[in-house]
Chains A and B, each alone.
Chain A
Amino acid sequence: MIYQFFYTITGSYLIADIIQSILPLFIFILPFALFAVWLERKVSAHMQDRLGPMRVGFHGALQTIADILKLIQKEDIVATENDKPLFNIAPVLVFVGTYAAFAVIPFSSAYIGSNIDLGIFFIVAVSGFVVAGILMAGWSSNNKYSLLGAMRSAAQIISYEIPTVLVIITIIMVTGTLNLNTLSEMQTGHFWNWMIFGGPQLGISKFLLIPFMIVGFVIIYISTLAEVNRTPFDIPEAESELVSGYHTEYSGMKFAMFFLAEYANMFAVSAIVAVLFFGGYQSPVGYLGNLLHLKWLIPIEQLFWFTTKGIFFVFVQMWLRWTLPRLRVDQLMAACWKYLIPLAFVNLIIIGLITLL
């Protein structure tokens, strides 16, 4: 719909395409990243019995802008021993890997970056860029700590992709489609039509699916926590052990890109979990637009619901970060290979059997 809108304004497919694809970046991701940094500082502060940023703007709302201004004007330090091409490309690659996932996430029924039939598969594939970027960052920093951090991070992300994919397969089996837009449209109606409550088809299989869907949701939430390197899985950037891991040597704008990429990634995986299990942009209680017979209100409401669900899951991620200690690297791997993967497999088999009913 938005695409049509731009086409009618500009009269050219190409320009409409370009505007539509940079839209999420400027209207959504950057403001979201600014908001998420502020949210993290406030959440952590209140959980630690203190206040957080209070002076810059109302309750510190403009703090992130001040930080970005500071980071932009910092000296860009590149040590002589570093492998310069790799060093410079690494943050860009990490950022690209996370940003590209936004292309197929449906923000509302009116806007989806690219309505391809391969939705989820594309997201899983493109997340591989992040691994390459992290390895490049660790290697080119020419620093034992960074290298250790990068290798651990790569091992962690690659291992935890497996439970993620297994749970995604269960959803695909139940719904029969990879396309995220179709998936969101299927979960229309009220909240009992969401995937976590068994899906839109009413019947015995819906009620049988509920406990296994909940298990699947927990597995994918934990795995995506590990994918974005958040505590308890933040060994790669463990401040007290490796002084910052693979981005120790970065300063200024490049550091800001890593930072931004982390928060964008957090939102991306929260959005994916919301789309897969919690109805995407669908409202749990019906639309105000339907009530008032205003058709143009519905996409805006859907955007609101989508953003709320995403921010809620981001909030839970932050909550976990400030409560739990971190796992050691071998315990992290054991958790993945010995616990999550068998559990995900069993879940897959059971759900597969249920869908045959």
Chain B
Amino acid sequence: MALKTEQMVLNMGPQHPSTHGVLRLEVELEGEIIQSVHPHIGYLHRCFEKHAEAMTYPQVIPYVDRMDYLASMYNEFGYVIAVEKLLGIQVPERVDYIRVIMGELQRIASHLVAIGTYGLDIGAFTPFLYCFRDRERILSLFEMTCGARLLYNYIWVGGLSHDLHPDFVRSAKDFVNYFRPNIKELNDLLTYNRIFIDRTANIGVLPLETAINYGITGPNLRASGFKWDIRKDDTYSIYNKFDFDIPTGQGLVGTVGDCWDRYYIRVLEMEQSLRIIEQALDRLPEGDVTSAIPKRIKPPAGQIYSRVENPKGELGYFIISDGSLNPFRVKVRGPSFVHLGVMNELCKGHMVADVIAILGSIDIVLGEVDR
């Protein structure tokens, strides 16, 4: 008589050290093999879109910060570009350069968190602290500029809230020189570590067609081998003036599109961001950053969908304006929301320990998933 086995439902509950926030994963297991994964979200839903309808356009910016709280500069960047396109105003060149510098510094900070916590999930405790030590230097650069370390309210419609501190350019150049060799140290410690490769190569392979169909963008899409970057393919601000490469996944230690590729793309992107920052710092023009900020922001009735390349993927803002001071509808297409939808597809057939590896590699932030 054969033993009847049942499927076990394991609940990786809202409180869990590895789910990067309050996320509930309902995992159906057959022994140790996963049959399906259902994410349950909504624990961090703060009704951003409803709030945005009750406030004026500049008042929305602090709220926008708090969605993807690890990459606040980019959230503001995306929103501000959408409103400026709707208004049809141009910003001074200095403002564009500073926005790019802040955005790329923010990209490095966000990737450092992603890499550090990914190592922590796999069990390597030390790279996490090295990454956060480097991130501290970036946060002190931000603090020097606008006074805040995590949620800035710095990029405003038509300009910036403060000009750069006189020491900023020198400190930022120091940081770039300090950080470059640290990437090599990180590679030695974690990226090419045999055990790390065993845990992440050939796990959670995302084929390219599936990726595009599920709306995956950003480093996850590039890791599947497709060279698609909104900074180059649908360019915004002044990114077309800079010279940088788009790294794609090549399956160096496993298949194209596995967890190791998604992790390695982030390491490579940090290097490219350093290049952009260097070029921008060298060519920073003079100017007044607050001159183009309008007194009252009252866009004409219409709608726009504009997108930027968040560190996590494509961040899109769909703003409908009805001609008044408050937006009629602001819909945020957050990359983490979309990426979480592909978890079920990625996890089928793997083991429980791999759920953590896969979840860490797609790099979600619950603030953006739930808004």
Contacts and interface: CB of A to CB of B under 8 A. Distances in A.
B124 A241 contact: no
A241 B195 contact: no
Contacts of A238: 123, 353
Contacts of B189: 323
B126 A48 contact: yes
B162 interface: no
B354 to A, nearest CB: 7
Contacts of A148: 352
Contacts of A322: 125-126
Contacts, number: 73
A326 interface: yes
B16 interface: yes
A325 B193 contact: yes
Interface string B211-242: 00000000000000000000000000000000
B354 A328 contact: yes
B129 interface: yes
B122 A326 contact: yes
Interface residues of B, number: 29
Contact of A44 (B121, B125, B190): B125
Nearest to A48: B129
B196 interface: yes
A328 B194 CA distance: 13
Given A239-B17, A240-B18, A324 B130 contact: no
A156 interface: no
Given A325-B193, A325-B196, A327-B198, A243 B119 contact: no
A47 interface: yes
Contacts of B89: none
Nearest to A239: B17
B121 A240 contact: yes
A322 B189 CA distance: 11
A329 B353 contact: yes
B351 interface: yes
A220 B120 CA distance: 28
Nearest to A234: B123
B199 A327 contact: yes
A48 B130 contact: yes
B193 A328 contact: no
Nearest to B122: A325
Interface string A44-81: 10011110000000000000000000000000000000
Given A48-B130, A50-B129, A327-B195, 16 more contacts: A49-B129, A232-B195, A234-B123, A240-B18, A240-B120, A240-B356, A243-B17, A325-B119, A325-B193, A325-B195, A325-B199, A328-B354, A329-B351, A329-B353, A330-B32, A330-B351
Q: What 5 pairs across the A-B complex have the smallest Cβ distances? A: A326-B123, A325-B124, A48-B129, A325-B123, A240-B18
11 contacts: A48-B126, A49-B133, A144-B10, A232-B123, A240-B17, A240-B121, A243-B17, A324-B123, A325-B199, A326-B199, A331-B198
